[in-house]
């Protein structure tokens, strides 16, 4: 992934610092960012890593900042859900992803407030907008 990002960076001639690190122990100081964006990260994290990763995103986000989390969800529509359940083993094998992580269940324990949850594509791709709780 970083190799592809470096190629695009060079091709576009943009000044971007690319860094590899563990989402549960990032090298950034507390309150480093006004906004944090996570796209399809939590669907590949095991349950035991969900809370530490959310806590870490909350740590690096400023108290008045926003964390946007884009995730998959199983559809509530019977046919769509059935098809997704058929795909689930292949998606798990090929990408290590799950459709049923329900990341929002960890927000309270991670010290994050849910500002908004909305679906961006049908009832399959959802966006969680959260903020660190103010003590």
Range of the domain at 113: 32-132
Q: Is residue 85 part of a domain?
A: yes
Q: Do the domain assignments include residue 90?
A: yes
Mean of all residue pLDDT scores within the chain? 94
Q: Note whether residue 48 is domain-resident.
A: yes
In the predicted model, is pLDDT for residue 25 greater than 90? yes
Residue 85: is its pLDDT beyond 90? yes
Alpha-carbon distances, residue 91 vs 80, 84, 101 (angstroms): 15, 9, 13
pLDDT in tens, 31-50: 999 999 999 999 999 999 99
* Band of residue 1 on the pLDDT scale cut at 50, 70, 90: confident
pLDDT band of 74, cuts 50, 70, 90: very high
Kindly report the CATH number assigned to the domain that includes residue 103.
3.40.50.150
The reply to whether 53 falls in a domain is: yes
What gap in Å lies between CA 135 and CA 133, rounded to an integer?
Answer: 6
Q: What tens digit of pLDDT does each residue of 101-130 get?
A: 999 999 999 999 999 999 999 999 999 999
Q: What is the DSSP string of the chain?
A: -HHHHHHHHHHHT---------TTS-SSPTT-EEEEEEES-GGGS-HHHHHHHHHHHHHHEEEEEEEEEEEE---SSHHHHHHHHHHHHHHHHHH---S---GGGGTTTTTEEEEEEEEEETTTEEEEEEEEPP-
- 112 is a domain residue: yes
- Local confidence band at 88 (pLDDT 50, 70, 90 cut-offs): very high
**Does a structural domain hold residue 22?**
no
High-pLDDT (> 90) share of the chain, % = 93
Q: Which pLDDT score is estimated for 130?
A: 98
Is the overall model pTM greater than 0.85, yes or no? yes
In a domain? residue 18: no
pLDDT higher than threshold 80 for residue 135: no
Tally of structural domains, the chain: 1
User: Does 69 fall in a domain?
Assistant: yes
């Amino acid at each position: 992934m970083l190799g592809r990002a470096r190629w695009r960076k060079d091709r576009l001639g943009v000044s971007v610092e690319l860094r590899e690190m563990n989402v549960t122990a990032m090298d950034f100081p507390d309150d480093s960012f006004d906004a944090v964006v996570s796209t399809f990260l939590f669907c590949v994290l095991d349950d035991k890593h969900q809370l530490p990763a959310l806590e870490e995103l909350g740590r690096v986000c400023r108290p008045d900042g926003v964390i946007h989390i884009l995730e998959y969800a199983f559809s509530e529509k019977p046919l769509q859900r059935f098809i997704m359940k058929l795909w689930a083993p292949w998606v798990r094998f090929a990408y290590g992803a799950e459709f049923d992580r329900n990341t929002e269940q960890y927000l309270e324990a991670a010290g994050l407030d849910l500002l908004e949850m909305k679906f961006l594509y049908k009832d399959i791709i959802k966006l969680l907008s959260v903020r660190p709780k103010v003590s």
